Chain A
């Protein structure tokens, strides 16, 4: 077979992770912004703006995990034990925030669910950043198995990544509200988005400086020739995108800041891919090393090629059906 199946699968999983980060990113971000809302009516409005979508958004995370198990079982078997505690903490955070969507509407006192929703969202986002940081740092592998300790991931760098992802999700959430909310909430979100934009840019700069200094192989990757000649536009484009986002935020409510925030995420993601390709588990397992048997990768790929376009189709349909802005105080309960 002429197809490089592991490469195709790396692209599919890469797509799933990108979809997840963008889509659940904005609804986690709305959760992170919950404590800064000025009233429960505003929180109703925030929750209503994401309620029809969150479940589908989170399914990309299951595809990421399930796809990793299916296509790269050896990487799955190393990453999960290595990042055991942050993974479980992320899942618990998602449990709490996920049940809030229905529970809060039924509860007589919404206060505790406001807190739980915000905390669950923030904890999940932070854990995702820690997982990202843990992967960039690299995982100790011997004989195809994780060979490190339970707290190998716990470094200042991983904490920085965690905070960065919290800020990034919050930015996506704020720009989502700029696009989807009506009235004061959109205005409020617009001001929050500006602060968050600066914060995200700061975190991106810090992580970008720290990464090559902490990880020699990434330093090598970035600053050796001819790589550097191809890579220098990435930070430039990032800065230009951030500048455009700022300008669009200045102009008032609309979809453009959200698009710019997505662009920023994708640029950060591109940086990650540039730094770690072709490793799934740096610095030992490439996606060719970790690949499942060709018969398994092929069997699921057939279904993926048929089903993924359909999934994208009806996901698009739902976003289209629930287009338009959510008014102040609108609640689905």
Chain B
């Protein structure tokens, strides 16, 4: 059987980009947390902030490293897998990606060096500044890459000549109709992802009766942030959904498995959408739920899947279920954050073991929501790579299936190894816990502390 090169190219790209997004969705939020801790330490002088900043910086370094190497791959895969997309959209996507490199990547990469290794070599303000620069860099990076991505969903500010997109208005390209929603949604998602990891680590120490002071600080900060951002995410997501309905109605129809646009839409808690039979099986509907959410009117109408021919519809199963997974996680986050905030207000948070147990074991929820959400929006754009401009099938490179299959297998293997080891090592860092920073051995140059008085990390704890 000949493997379909379009499918292979998509599988390979989908795999590598899903792997990659795990790390930015954590490090964007985490870098902001580290910067906050550094600033708090500077402002209050409380040592727990310093220990926490050092602790999370180590975890950040491991995650960021994996994000960097998997991100470099993507900057080349646009050409290796989607060369005809590069020709059609290169005039638009190229400069946006270029700005990401120039404005963000160098900033992050360079100041990360100071953040990780420079604490005893630079004035304290420069070290704090480096933490902020890294955090700002990650957010700028998200800005540009989401501008590029949003343009692929809602292209604007360009004209087509001979099948190639030419820029006519850069502000319209960057601030294309879906950009602000997508950027806010992703940035907030990243903060939430990091918050739930911080909460989980705090709860884990609390349950183990270790690092009590740090654990309390992490729980307080994480829950405090999530209690605001998780409900906010519901609002942003709703606005983003309305924006999608306006610009990509068929994606919304796929999210809701809504076939017939002449009737109000039910919200399906569960269903199995059947693309061939054009109906849903095993449906558990909330009557008119979708109409109520999307049009704010129980009898409101919105386009159904049948309004376009089957070849213009996205694959339903990933879009439909991805959306439900994201929603489920979102509501869990809201519940967990608000309940935690209530416990905090009741001053029983640190004694409520079952709650700590739950949040200690749900560090992964943000990652699941982010990946599910990206599957919804990217698969929901199909069969288009640039909505209304170029179909994914017309975007591939002239690379034979054999090469694609081989490299797909290599990526799965290499990323599988790197990811497992990375998680294992991060877990080991967490098990070891926060340490006083002044005992850390500092490399480079001749300072009194560098003489090797501090023990090897591998000798301590863990």
Contacts of A92 on B, CB cut-off 8 Å? Answer: 410-411, 414
- Main SS of the interface on chain B? helix
Chain A, 86-126, CB within 8 A of any chain B CB: 87-88, 91-92, 94-96, 98-99, 101-103, 105-108
Chain B, 93-108, CB within 8 A of any chain A CB: 93-95, 97-103, 105-107
B444 touches A324 (CB 8 A): yes
> Beta-carbon contacts of B56-81 to A below 8 Å, as 1s and 0s?
00000110011011111101101110
B65 touches A102 (CB 8 A): yes
Contacts of B167 on A, CB cut-off 8 Å? Answer: 293, 295-296, 299
Separation of A332 and B452 alpha carbons in the complex (Å): 11
Question: Which of A76, A79, A300, A322 contacts B117 (CB under 8 A)?
Answer: A322
A332 touches B116 (CB 8 A): yes
A201 at the interface (CB under 8 A from B): no
A77 touches B90 (CB 8 A): yes
A74 at the interface (CB under 8 A from B): yes
B276 at the interface (CB under 8 A from A): no
A55 touches B410 (CB 8 A): no
Separation of A331 and B117 alpha carbons in the complex (Å): 10
Chain B, 27-75, CB within 8 A of any chain A CB: 61-62, 65-66, 68-73, 75
B117 touches A73 (CB 8 A): no
Among A56-64, A159-167, A213-221, the stretch that binds chain B is: A56-64
Please give the distance in Å from A320's CB to the nearest CB on chain B: 10
Question: Which of B83, B99, B118, B421 contacts A78 (CB under 8 A)?
Answer: B83
A292 at the interface (CB under 8 A from B): yes
A81 touches B399 (CB 8 A): yes
Contacts of A80 on B, CB cut-off 8 Å? Answer: 76, 78-80, 83, 86, 397
A66 at the interface (CB under 8 A from B): yes
B307 at the interface (CB under 8 A from A): no
Separation of A226 and B220 alpha carbons in the complex (Å): 76
Instruction: Known A73-B94, A80-B79, A92-B410; judge A59-B106 contact (CB<8 A).
Output: yes
Q: Which residue of chain A has the shortest Cβ distance to B457 in the bound complex?
A: A333
Query: Using a Cβ cutoff of 8 Å, how many contacts connect chains A and B?
Result: 259
B110 touches A56 (CB 8 A): yes
Please give the distance in Å from B19's CB to the nearest CB on chain A: 10
Separation of A68 and B79 alpha carbons in the complex (Å): 10
B445 at the interface (CB under 8 A from A): yes
Question: Which of B97, B114, B411 contacts A70 (CB under 8 A)?
Answer: B97
A55 touches B68 (CB 8 A): yes
Please give the distance in Å from A97's CB to the nearest CB on chain B: 8
A69 touches B90 (CB 8 A): yes
Question: Which of B100, B105, B443, B446 contacts A332 (CB under 8 A)?
Answer: B443
Question: Which of B399, B429, B458 contacts A150 (CB under 8 A)?
Answer: B399
B92 at the interface (CB under 8 A from A): yes
B122 at the interface (CB under 8 A from A): yes
B7 at the interface (CB under 8 A from A): no
Most buried by A among B117, B411, B428, B443: B443
Please give the distance in Å from A63's CB to the nearest CB on chain B: 5
Contacts of B414 on A, CB cut-off 8 Å? Answer: 92, 95-96
A307 at the interface (CB under 8 A from B): yes
Contacts of B73 on A, CB cut-off 8 Å? Answer: 91, 95
Among B199-207, B258-266, B400-408, the stretch that binds chain A is: B400-408
B102 touches A81 (CB 8 A): no
Please give the distance in Å from A246's CB to the nearest CB on chain B: 29
B87 touches A98 (CB 8 A): no
Separation of A107 and B421 alpha carbons in the complex (Å): 9
Number of interface residues of B (CB under 8 A): 79
> Beta-carbon contacts of B415-427 to A below 8 Å, as 1s and 0s?
1001001100100
B122 touches A321 (CB 8 A): yes
Contacts of A324 on B, CB cut-off 8 Å? Answer: 444-446
Separation of A321 and B170 alpha carbons in the complex (Å): 38
Instruction: Known A81-B399, A84-B80, A146-B398; judge A101-B75 contact (CB<8 A).
Output: no
A61 touches B72 (CB 8 A): yes
A300 touches B94 (CB 8 A): yes
Contacts of A78 on B, CB cut-off 8 Å? Answer: 83
Chain B, 364-397, CB within 8 A of any chain A CB: 397
Contacts of A322 on B, CB cut-off 8 Å? Answer: 113, 117-118, 121, 444
B450 touches A330 (CB 8 A): yes
Q: Which residue of chain B has the shortest Cβ distance to A306 in the bound complex?
A: B102
Separation of A326 and B445 alpha carbons in the complex (Å): 6
Separation of A48 and B400 alpha carbons in the complex (Å): 42
A62 touches B113 (CB 8 A): no
Instruction: Known A52-B116, A59-B105; judge A292-B422 contact (CB<8 A).
Output: no
B86 touches A73 (CB 8 A): yes
A303 touches B428 (CB 8 A): no
B98 touches A304 (CB 8 A): yes
> Beta-carbon contacts of A34-70 to B below 8 Å, as 1s and 0s?
0000000000000010011101101101110111111
B110 touches A96 (CB 8 A): no
Separation of A145 and B87 alpha carbons in the complex (Å): 10
B168 touches A295 (CB 8 A): yes
B114 touches A318 (CB 8 A): yes
A154 at the interface (CB under 8 A from B): no
A103 touches B68 (CB 8 A): no
Most buried by A among B400, B402, B403, B428: B403
Separation of A262 and B425 alpha carbons in the complex (Å): 37
A81 touches B398 (CB 8 A): yes
Instruction: Known A65-B76, A295-B167; judge A88-B105 contact (CB<8 A).
Output: no
A144 at the interface (CB under 8 A from B): yes
Instruction: Known A70-B95, A146-B83; judge A52-B168 contact (CB<8 A).
Output: no
B109 at the interface (CB under 8 A from A): yes
B457 touches A105 (CB 8 A): yes
B79 touches A76 (CB 8 A): yes
Separation of A99 and B70 alpha carbons in the complex (Å): 10
A106 touches B83 (CB 8 A): no
B435 at the interface (CB under 8 A from A): no
Instruction: Known A147-B398, A299-B167, A318-B113; judge A48-B94 contact (CB<8 A).
Output: no
Most buried by A among B70, B75, B428, B444: B444
A55 touches B100 (CB 8 A): no
Question: Which of A56, A98, A295 contacts B69 (CB under 8 A)?
Answer: A98
Could you list some 14 contacts between A and B, CB below 8 A? A58-B109, A63-B101, A63-B102, A70-B97, A74-B90, A81-B83, A84-B80, A91-B76, A106-B457, A147-B398, A295-B91, A308-B102, A311-B110, A321-B118
Other A-B pairs, 13, CB within 8 Å; known A69-B79, A95-B415: A56-B106, A66-B97, A68-B79, A71-B98, A77-B397, A95-B69, A98-B68, A106-B428, A150-B403, A295-B167, A296-B92, A322-B118, A330-B443
